[in-house]
Structure 1
């Protein structure tokens, strides 16, 4: 008697779910690499990543359909369906989390410890957000309620140290966080840079420069005037630094203002995400980490 072997067909949904999941993983990974390496434009890279996420969503739907066919019809291909399901979850987990944050926990692209008079940037066109990015146009951000505004607020830092020591702590904190200092931040330094640029731009036939101004000598103690050295010590010191977001390596800009307040100093900072807040809360995390690093360097425990 001849034995008949019945072979159940493989679910096509399961096979295509694994194929689409592998395709989405490869396309999203390649687009992420090109965006991080600055080999493509930001909007083009984000569109490519979004395309990979769409493919992952299709793979997830195919995996769910494959589970249904396998359960009701007894088709084979359970391993392929599980593989596609797990891969799509790995691809979609972080984007879904970011989208949920935008819908329920708004994050500002420009945050400062002093919202009324935030520290200024030397080049506002490059540091401040100018236009909404692709994520801002696709996923609307939730309104900034009073509760979220209170949670996002970062208080300034007060230190019982001299001004120059506070400036040194601010520079060390920037180096500890791998930030690149861009502005040396003092009025005297700015005047020195302007004088150097003017000297380099002079032509041989230009008239000679004007003589320097007469020096102002310190007044006698009876007049009650402030000496130039003491006045310089009372001027606020400003610093600028730049960093990158952890995922997409988008630029982050940081402005720091150190103001003497009596025997103490007040450190205000401002962090912006000029090209978009795709890494949700990266500028806020940078601001908090920077102030915490200064406090740690001032009083290590």
Structure 2
């Protein structure tokens, strides 16, 4: 048995094992078979196994090249699969590198928008919404995300609220409540792969002849969020501003009389 292909075989076996581990961790968490921490341990094991598969695969490839084997392309199977398994985890970690270890982000640190309907959907096992931990939460957010601020739009309240609801639905978030009378929208965003649930509350209020939009996004589990809540707020407010500009420039658009309508 030739050594280059022995390394290749082990690389492929380990990468397939890593893929299986990843599938079990993700599906187990999404189906509530396992908790958050065991799922993360499973992903950590998946990452280590994937990295080992990459290393063994590369060793096999280099030895095949040195031995002038004709089947060099086949030696890349394990390392390629290992990379595909590891890449999403590493990319997520790299994107969240340097972000503060907090999970509750708001555009208004003095008076954050309050969750009302969402509270009934959270359990004692979930993160608290009292914003008391860590004690320096506001300072950490200011340091990590100094750009986050309310969106002030020169548009009528009705139009802004209506388009905010439209945008929440467009993002695929599950609406828990939307009350124009209270100027509040509450919804839950479920991440695509791991199925993590992050809760969102959007506060819309008239300020003189403009409309101010504040937003708060909080993870149900985990001490940190790798920057995902801040990213969600930035993206939503940018999309809302763009949507309102497009709506205003469309002569076919008209403001709906949405005040007083409540979705529960």
- TM-score of the superposed pair, with normalisation by structure 2: 0.72
Larger Rg, first or second structure (1 or 2): 1
Unpaired runs of 5+ residues, structure 1, are 1-6, 132-142, 189-235
Give the whole-Å Cα distance in 1 for the aligned partners of 2:161 and 2:142. 34
| Number of residue pairs matched by the alignment | 234
SS in 2 for 1:299: helix
**Please, which moves more after superposition, 251-260 or 67-76?**
67-76
Give the whole-Å Cα distance in 2 for the aligned partners of 1:22 and 1:92. 12
1:251-272 deviations in Å (ceiling 9; x for gaps) = 1111112222112221111112
CA contact (8 A) 1:15 1:80 kept: no
Give the whole-Å Cα distance in 1 for the aligned partners of 2:2 and 2:192. 48
Give the whole-Å Cα distance in 1 for the aligned partners of 2:145 and 2:234. 15
Change (3 A) 1:272 1:146: closer
Q: 1:99 — aligned with what?
A: 93
In the TM superposition, residue 31 of structure 1 has moved relative to its aligned partner by 2.6
Q: Which residue among 167, 192, 196 is the counterpart of 1:173?
A: 167
Q: How does 1:21-100 map to 2 (within 5 A)?
A: 21-70=15-64, 78-100=72-94
Q: 2:122 — aligned with what?
A: 126
CA contact (8 A) 1:8 1:76 kept: no
Q: 1:295 — aligned with what?
A: 241
Q: Which residue among 174, 189, 202 is the counterpart of 1:243?
A: 189
CA contact (8 A) 2:201 2:215 kept: yes
Q: 1:135 — aligned with what?
A: none
1:226-285 deviations in Å (ceiling 9; x for gaps) = xxxxxxxxxx62221111123212111111122221122211111122213887433223
Q: 1:18 — aligned with what?
A: 12
Q: Which residue among 258, 261, 265 is the counterpart of 2:204?
A: 258
SS in 2 for 1:21: helix
CA contact (8 A) 1:244 1:251 kept: yes
